[in-house]
Structure 1
Amino acid sequence: MQCLEGGFQTDLSLRQHLRILKKLKNMNGSLKQLIAEHTPIKWYLAVRKKEMDKKLFKLRAPYIKDIEVLIDKNTSIISSNCFAGRIMQDLGMQYNSPTLGLYFWAPDYIEFLSNLRYYLTDAKIQFVEHSKYPLGDRRRKEWRHWYPIGWLDGKVEIHFLHYYTEEEAAEKWYRRASRVNWNDLFIIGMEQNLCTIDEIKAFDNLPFGNKIFFSSKELPELKSNCYIQEFRRVGEVGDPYRKADIFYRELIKRLKK
């Protein structure tokens, strides 16, 4: 395969470019920078992402009309990961919640929800160099780009997965937090990120009337628990962004009850 870029013809195949990229990444290079410097790879990844987005949307599309009926566009969706953003994008909602493009560790999310109004109105973000969880640092190192990690009030750790700077993360967090509709909240939890049965039970005990917790466990005694059988052998639920159709299906079932 040959590629023309700015009048320059390279004899390197895409496969060779990918091998070079992998080698450089292992040398602790910035993946974003490396992709920018290898135009064929940048083009290939952009095309692949666009194709994948189309495939994933086709899977979600049959459920979106029902979701639109069941979730009001003025609702503020609070979630432990990117699922809030997935819903808001599909429904064309204003971002009236700061919990998108990021994730919480399960114990921190319970703390966050336990004092939700304080953390969304008064608490400040302190950005830190390292996660308090060893797994957190490993995940960031393996992610496709560096991203900020912040602590709310020195307690609640947030991984701003889809942000590139601390300034961007802080500005969007505070702006979106100021829009939260306290009269119409929908709280979503998931069995991910060091979640144990203790966090699932703690979530169920939180004083929110409109809430759901997606898990891989059958726990009929917990009213908020939503068991997803596809993940029963995994021990936690899967990626709600890529597998949103599965979560939409179960969400519709629960909200229609």
Structure 2
Amino acid sequence: MKNLTIALAISIVLGVAFFGISYPIFGNAQVSEALAAVPLIGSHHLAEALERQSARQSLVAGRPTAIFAFEGYTVAWPYLVAFGILIAAGITFISGFLSGVGLAFILPQSAFFAYPQIVVSVSLLVIIPATIAGGYIAGRWIGARTRSTLHGLVIVLAVSVMSAAINAVVNYLAIIWSGAAEALQMGEVNILDFAEGAGISLAAFLAGGLLGFWRGNRQKMTKYLSYLLSILPKDTGDLIVKLAYDEARGKTAAPAGAAAAAH
């Protein structure tokens, strides 16, 4: 699990670095958050790249200890939750940036609280599809790397709840950073607004997560074969593909031959 830990650390450090470097340049928290979201959303891809690199190095050294058997091509639940949370956080940052861009074309920031329905409508048009997409990305990876269906479904639910909490926290901080904290004090924005946003985020992320989990679970064998082919020499990979093709062709040709003989 060393590669997973390294991938988590690198993704978080890059996210913080992107935010820290870009914020003084742009002076806009949403732009900086969107840039910081890139390594967070791609964190699981980095983890798999490190796994494959480690396996290749082990293969070259003649000690294939880093190559996973199919039964071992699973990820412990704390890592699945951690990567899922990073993806959820990244999607929240991206959707916040996109909704802010959309609103900037419609209303000046000073008028946001004067036209709450417009703000809510535009935000939901961006946030719901983005959150569903984020849930799908996280759920598909969880489905492909979990040890059992029930185990994976519990993790998808846990990550969805975490996604809703992240959404509420980010929305609260966005109000504080935008200089509109008086809206909280005057009651223009209250706890129910945050709860409503969190509920929408939970439903959208869970819907995408369950769909992604179903897809990832069905592709578990395909993903494992892709992992093996990526670490083997090209000639060996080509041979495996040819053998699989010949086997599949033989299986389909046999029923056809039997049917022809019957006639």
Mark the structure with the bigger radius of gyration: 2
- Give the helix-richer structure, 1 or 2: 2
Larger relative contact order, structure 1 or 2 (CA cutoff 8 Å, min sep 6): 2
TM-score, normalization by structure 1: 0.25
- Give the strand-richer structure, 1 or 2: 1
